[in-house]
Amino acid sequence: MTTVLILIAIFAAILLGLNLWTRRLTRQGQATVPQLGEIIPVHGGSIHYVEKGNPENQSIVMIHGLAGQLQHFTYALMDSLADDYHVIAVDRPGCGYSTRDTAELGRLPEQARMIDDFLAAKGVSNAVLVGHSLGGAVSLAMALDHPDRVAGLALLAPLTHKLPGTPAVFKPLEIRTGWLRNLIGNTLAVPIAHKTAPHTLGAVFDPEIPPEDFLDRAGGALGLRPSAFITASQDVLGIDESIEVQAARYPELQVSGGILYGDRDAILPSAEQGGSMTQFGLTHDEIEGLGHMILITEPDACAAFIRSVAQSVEKTAIPSQETGQGSA
Residue 128 included in any domain: yes
Residue 299 included in any domain: yes
Q: Which pLDDT does position 94 carry in this prediction?
A: 97
Q: Is it the case that residue 15 has pLDDT exceeding 90?
A: no
CA dihedral 258, 63, 101, 166 (to 10 degrees): 60
Residue 328 included in any domain: no
C-beta neighbour count of 4 within 10 angstroms: 8
Residue 251 included in any domain: yes
Q: Which pLDDT does position 318 carry in this prediction?
A: 56
**For residue 248, what is the domain's CATH number?**
3.40.50.1820
User: Is there a contact between 48 and 90 (Cβ–Cβ < 8 Å)?
Assistant: yes
For 184-228, write each residue's pLDDT tens digit.
999 999 999 989 999 999 999 999 999 999 999 999 999 999 999
Residue 170 included in any domain: yes
For 117-147, write each residue's pLDDT tens digit.
999 999 999 999 999 999 999 999 999 999 9
Residue 327 included in any domain: no
Q: Is it the case that residue 295 has pLDDT exceeding 70?
A: yes
Q: Which domain holds residue 196?
A: 2-322
Please, which residues bridge with residue 88 across strands?
51, 61
Number of domains in the chain: 1
Residue 295 included in any domain: yes
User: Is there a contact between 85 and 51 (Cβ–Cβ < 8 Å)?
Assistant: no
Q: How far is CA 198 from CA 46, 193, 203, in A?
A: 31, 9, 9
Separation of alpha carbons 135 and 127, rounded Å? 15
Separation of alpha carbons 178 and 235, rounded Å? 12
Where do runs of H (alpha helix) occur along 35-133?
A: 71-74, 77-82, 108-122
Give the pTM.
0.93
Residue 201 included in any domain: yes
